[in-house]
Amino acid sequence: MNIRSRILGLEMVKASEIQPNNKNWRTHPSCQEKSVRASVKKLGFVDALIARRIDGVIELLDGHLRKDLASDSESKPICRINPGGPMRIILGMCRM
């Protein structure tokens, strides 16, 4: 089986430069937010946020809660992907 990679790169980006996706449908109950906040405070970031670059803007696809916990001046790890083709349906994006 030939599995292609959609990953374009890993980069560090200031939180203030990362735009939320306005089609993000996920919400987190306060107990989950509290748990993630405690984990990030104790361990730091152990996984990259997933984003795409469109028209020069870095748009977040996954990791909205973790991004919101960061100060705007902090750099965060971003796994930049190219979610073209059928992947846009999986991610629930209309604008891709």
Structure tokens at 38: 């405690």
Residue range 9-23: average pLDDT?
A: 90
Q: How confident is the model at residue 65 (pLDDT cuts 50, 70, 90)?
A: confident
Which conformational region is residue 93 in: left (phi greater than 0), alpha (psi within -120 to 50 degrees), or beta? beta
Residue range 14-31: average pLDDT?
A: 86
∠ CA 31-25-55, nearest 5°, is: 125
Q: How confident is the model at residue 85 (pLDDT cuts 50, 70, 90)?
A: low
